[in-house]
Amino acid sequence: MKEDALLFGPTKSLVGILTDPPQAPTPPSRPAVILLNSGIIHRVGPQRLYVKIARRLAAMGFVVLRFDLSGVGDSKVRHDNLPFERSAVSEAQDAMNHLHAERGIDRFVLIGLCSGADLSLKTACCDPRVMGAVLLNAQGDQQDIGDELSSSMLSRKNARYYWNIALFNPKSWLRVVTGEADYGAIIRASVFQLRSKFARPKRVAPGTSHDAANVRLLAERGVRLLLVFSEGDRGLDYFQEVLGDELQQLCSSRKIGLHVISHSTHTFTLLRNQERLLELVCDWAHGMTAGETGVVGVPEEPVLEVWDERRPA
């Protein structure tokens, strides 16, 4: 593969690294992949995760660009008053514009971790050139989510702890016997688990979550989505609550893929978790193309792993 540093954007202030495959077809037959910053971590990503993703996908024949948003890493700070929510989407589109002008690529896949995943989702909704997105531990808009949703997310977290961890921990049983346990929390977690198992999942009122609407919009538009979460990540709880049983329906209809990597941190610190993540991303990317014809299709056996909270941690 070949890697080059580049400057792009209206003022040439955005710094990126372009990773080319060993033999890039002309004209391009595959979408380009763009990696978006995770918070204030620059373009290498946490534990150099973005570098690994870029090089693994380039070896498969994809052109991959990882770059720094304004004010992050090596990119200069913007001098206008454009809010970050708008400037970040605009800069992601600048990256697409650059690859179209220099390489003739007009289809794109966005990948991001945490805030980078949220940015990928928003950009995909407003730019029809995006044909797929990989959302790693997407958090969504959890600010001012309301007491009802916040309470549901807390109940889901507690239920997972009591049923997957505390249930198999002798020390937890000792606290129950000695009266040191939080019996109220145990009862609430048990009620939540029973409702989740035997009752239809309750979803927040329609219109209250832009993230749920965005996922639904992209699924209807045929944009392929891959959602990957660390086990127990708060973002997973959030999307399970705002989408409810619709999340299962979207997975079953193969409109989106959902995977949970067990025993993983938010940034996939352990090497074995990183390797599992790379396998998922590469399998999903492989399913987006059919040979070298450039025809985009659905894989015959798409990787699909639906989260089951009842399984042991």
CB-CB contact of 121 with 215 (8 Å): yes
Residues 153 and 51: their CA atoms lie apart, in Å, by 33
Q: What is the pLDDT of residue 45?
A: 96
H/E element holding 178? helix 170-178
Q: Which candidate, 211, 172, 207, places its Cα nearest to that of 189?
A: 172
Instruction: State the pairing for strand pair 14-20/64-67.
Output: antiparallel
Query: What pLDDT was estimated at residue 302?
Result: 34
Average pLDDT, 10 consecutive residues per value, the chain (313 residues)? 94 97 79 96 96 97 97 94 93 98 96 97 96 96 64 63 57 60 58 54 56 93 95 88 87 91 94 97 86 32 37 38
Distance CA 263, CA 272 (A): 10
- Write down the pTM of the prediction: 0.78
List the domain boundaries for the chain: 2-141+209-287, 149-198
Q: Note the pLDDT of residue 23.
A: 83
Residue 162 in contact with residue 196, Cβ under 8 Å?
no
pLDDT at residue 207, as a whole number: 44
What is residue 33's three-state secondary structure? Answer: strand
Query: Which residues are paired to 230 by β-bridges?
Result: 261
Work out whether strand 14-20 and strand 32-36 pair parallel, antiparallel, or are unpaired.
unpaired
CA–CA separation, 29 vs 18, rounded Å?
17
Q: What is the pLDDT of residue 245?
A: 84
Q: What is the pLDDT of residue 241?
A: 83
Phi, psi of 3 (to 5 degrees): -125, 135
List, as one string, the DSSP characters of 83-113: -HHHHHHHHHHHHHHHHHHHH----EEEEEE
The CB density around residue 108, as the number of other CB atoms within 10 Å, is 25
Domain 2-141+209-287 sits in CATH at 3.40.50.1820
In single-letter form, the type of residue at position 93 comes to: Q
Q: Whole-angstrom Cα distance, residue 234 to residue 186?
A: 20
